[in-house]
Structure 1
Amino acid sequence: MLITVSLLLVTTAMSAVMLLVLTSLADSRVAGIREWAQANGVAVLALLLFAARGLIPDLLSIELANALLLLTASLMLAGYRRYLGLPVPWRLLAGGAGAAFAGVVFFHYVHESLALRVVGMSAFHAAICFGIHASLPKVADGRLRYPNAFSRTAALLLGLGHSCRGAFYVFDTYEPTSLLEPAVANLAFFAIGTLAMPALSLGAVMLANARVLTETAYAAEHDHLTGAPSRRAFFDMAERELARARRHGNGLGLLLVDADHFKRINDTYGHGVGDEVLRDLVARAREEIRKIDYFARLGGEEFGVLLPDASFDTTRAVAERLRAALDQSAQGRTAAAGPAYTVSIGLAMLEKGEDFAALMRRADAALYAAKAGGRNRVEVAPRLTPEPAPRSGGARVIRLRS
């Protein structure tokens, strides 16, 4: 009996720790944390009542303790469903928990049988574990991969363990006299029941922590207004693509895109409308660039487009297509469509031995020339090395004085 009581107290301590950890994550607003924390709080009470068997009335150590354990399992499944954005089958949970609790009462007061009480409780907990396993996706990406796999595997193994526990007491002639009886079989299945909550809670904590880290990384790497990658993320990607371009000798193009007369839009219509213009610009731009291109907000109304594995002709074609798509001039626009806007674009191609800072300076000079040349146009930065005369038509090449 001392062994089982010790196991209960250790599990109680683990649930208390999980409660504190989950409570510390409450401000993260990750869905499911509230239910998981509540499940561990209820589990602490249930386990303490089980540990006090023989010291307190059976009504508390059997009926109330099992009722709290049923609530604990239901809240754990609800937490996983909330986390995954899935509906919680509260009616089904209530029906299953009600049936299991009725079995506890019946096999305590009407037909005394601890084994059959265990069977009913094991069936409910097995269903909960299998429900968690079925709810979690088979494959998760990024930081969620390992926590998802751990939780899914733990739920499956615990579900199988509870099923074996129930089957054992159904088909075996062994009839325990107490839940805390130190028999080998009773101890083995008792361990499965008591350790289920810490295992599932650990998976929940891992998932919540991974979600927090993922959201934090996304916030750090993306502009909160438009959802476009941030300046820092853009420069990180640029350094990787620059190294790759040098290693393989591939072309690398850079476009700097700036909304024309954006200050006038803010002053005339207000910053709220200006924000809508930026969001519209990003949405349209994403539809026009290639899938391998990297589009980011560099600050204010300025955006950058990195074009890996691109020739000059490809980069220029993307720039012209982008300018045309973002030519939201007043012609044919209704008031409901928002204020008219256009963009100017500076284009530069990476040259041998050039670093990204120099590439940016040339693209910025081309953007300045596009602004000075009348806006709503693409200007191409001059090459650092001599080149043949450009083809007639298309984008104009700037000839800056030395």
Structure 2
Amino acid sequence: MMSLSIMMLFVLHSLSHSDARGIREWTIANGLAALALPLVAARGIIPDWLSIEVSNLLLMGTSALMLAGFRRHAGLGTPWPALGAGTAAGFALVAGFHLVVDSMAIRVVVTSTYHAVLALAMGVTLRRTMASAPRRYPVRFTTWSAFAVAAGMLARAVVYGLRASGVLRLDDSPLTIFFFSIGTLALPMLTLGAVMMTNAGIIARATYAADHDHLTGACSRRAFFALAERERARAQRRRGALSLLLFDVDHFKRINDSYGHATGDRVLAEIVLHTRSVVRAIDVCGRLGGEEFAVLLPDTGEGMAMQAAERLRAALERASRAAPGSAGVPYTVSIGVATLAPGETVAAMLSRADQALYAAKAGGRNTVVAAPSGAERLREASAG
């Protein structure tokens, strides 16, 4: 177990610069275990107070810090007073059943119960975070590992309690090997789960950063087009509707020049915030570049798309004038609307929306213009 704890120390150290919560507590916990286990192994060679009192205090600190790390990882506070009181009580009982009444079996009951309670608390804490976890498997693995450790420790406490009462003998029993295995694997299993959860969080944050604009939180251009392509394929496969709103801020350069780029950035961030409050949960808002944004409307035909665009235009104008917020600058947007034609690509639909946006700009801005459908364009070309 000591070699596993040392190995986990190196693994945790490699994650120390990731800003993941709980790493410090888990690292110290494995460090305490690495200090405690040689003391346990040296029983009979070193003074008993080192191999019993000190080693058990270090191991109790290990469980307390693992729980603190999991709670911190979950964004929860740690009940340090309760942990401190429980650890002090456990240590006092261990010392009492060594220095006053020497009973190894009762010491095992005390320490096993202590570790079982904290492992159960770890499992309960992790179970509550399951729904919000970026990936559920690491949390599920760690949760059931904690519950398994708790069950094993409770069983150990019961068996050694029976031994202390003289009901059961454990000499050379397979149960002794079983309980030793639980104690050996408990910390490495929990630490492995912690590392898995940390890696899942790092990957989730990296994926989010790649798929979202850092300034506004809207989908990045790459992520938006990937989603649009999937929705296009779904719409054509099911013969459904798909529409696109393309809009940008009117006279945005004037805002930057008059109020500064910091104010311009706040305007862009507020636009995304207000847009998300207007569109549906299934609609996707993306920043295509500069002050240009797009909203993908699945299962939406041209009529509904025009209504959504007008609702968005009016909401943004009203929000900027009635409640300027942190930007403090009134603004308007022009919107071009395009609805997917049979066999059309995302690029072609976006091109039509861009032409409609240009027409909205040319028509005086702060307005909504629909792009001609594929059939209308063919009729226009034939008439020309």
Q: Give deviations 1:238-284, integer Å, cap 9, x for gaps.
A: 01001011101111111111011111111111121111111111111
Residue 297 of structure 2 aligns to a residue whose secondary structure is: strand
Q: Give distance in 2, aligned partners of 1:182 and 1:79.
A: 37
Q: Deviations over 1:203-235 (max 9, x none)?
A: 111111111111111111111111111111100
1:40 is the counterpart of 2:30: yes
Partner Cα separation in structure 1 for residue 215 and residue 151 of structure 2: 47
- What is the alpha-carbon distance in structure 2 between the residues aligned to residue 330 and residue 114 of structure 1? 73
Secondary structure at the residue paired with 1:172? helix
CA contact (8 A) 1:222 1:230 kept: yes
Structure 2 residue aligned with 1:90? 80
1:359 maps onto 2:354 in alignment = no
Aligned twin of 1:338: 328
Among candidates 131, 147, 165, match of residue 140 of structure 1:
131
- When the two chains are superposed, the root-mean-square deviation of aligned CA atoms in Å is 2.4
**Alpha carbons of structure 1 residues 257 and 127: separation in structure 2 relative to 1, 3 Å:** same
Alpha-carbon distance change, 274 to 337 in structure 1, aligned in 2, over 3 angstroms: closer
Residue 273 to residue 23, structure 1, CA distance change in 2 (3 Å): same
Kindly provide the CA deviation profile for residues 174-194 of structure 1, in whole angstroms up to 9, marking residues without a partner as x. 88xxx9x86533222222222
Counterpart position of 1:190: 180
2:166 corresponds to 1:152: no
Q: In the alignment, is residue 312 of structure 1 matched against residue 302 of structure 2?
A: yes
AA aligned to 2:77 is P
Whole-angstrom CA distance in 2 between matches of 1:329 and 1:110: 74
SS in 1 for 2:343: coil
| TM-score (norm: length of structure 2) | 0.93
> 2:156 aligned with 1:165, yes or no?
yes
Change over 3 Å in CA distance of 1:242–1:70 after alignment to 2: same
- Partner SS state of residue 135, structure 2: helix
Q: In 2, Cα distance between the equivalents of 1:140 and 1:108?
A: 45
Aligned to 1:298: 288
Give the letter aligned to residue 92 of structure 2.
A
Distance in 2, Cα, partners of 1:173 & 1:350: 78
Return the letter of the residue paired with 1:113. Answer: S
**Matched-pair contact (CA < 8 Å) for 1:257–1:343:** yes
Report the residue type matching 1:243 in the other structure.
Answer: A
Of 98, 105, 108, the residue aligned with 2:98 is 108
Aligned mates of 1:188, 1:119 — CA distance in 2 = 16
**1:207 partner amino acid:** M
| Counterpart residue type for residue 192 of structure 1 | I
Matched letter for residue 160 of structure 2: Y
Matched, 1:67 2:85: no
Judge conservation of contact 2:60–2:87 (CA < 8 Å) in 1. yes
Query: Is 1:199–2:189 an aligned residue pair?
Result: yes
Distance 1:141 1:162 in 2: 29
Residue pair 1:257, 1:302 contacting (<8 A) in 2 also: yes
Determine the C-alpha separation between the residues in 1 that align with 2:143 and 2:13.
23
Partners of 1:130 and 1:366 in 2: CA distance: 61
Does 2:122 correspond to 1:121? no
Report the identity percentage. 50
SS in 2 for 1:228: coil
CA contact 1:333–1:340 (8 Å) conserved in 2: no
Question: Shift of residue 300 of structure 1?
Answer: 1.2
| Residue 221 in structure 1 maps to residue 216 in structure 2 | no
Counterpart in the other structure of 2:269: 279
* Residues 155 and 381 of structure 1, relative CA distance in 2, 3 Å threshold: same
Equivalent position of 1:22 in the other structure: 12
In the alignment, structure 2 segments of 5+ residues that lack a partner are none
Give the deviation of 1:291 after TM superposition: 2.4
Task: Verify the 8 A CA contact 1:329 1:341 in the aligned structure 2.
Answer: no
Provide the rounded CA distance (Å) in 2 between the counterparts of 1:201 and 1:290: 41
Q: Could you tell me which residue of structure 2 aligns to residue 8 of structure 1? A: none
Aligned-residue offset at 1:62: 1.5
Q: 1:334 to 1:326 in 2, by over 3 A?
A: closer
Paired amino acid for 2:127: P
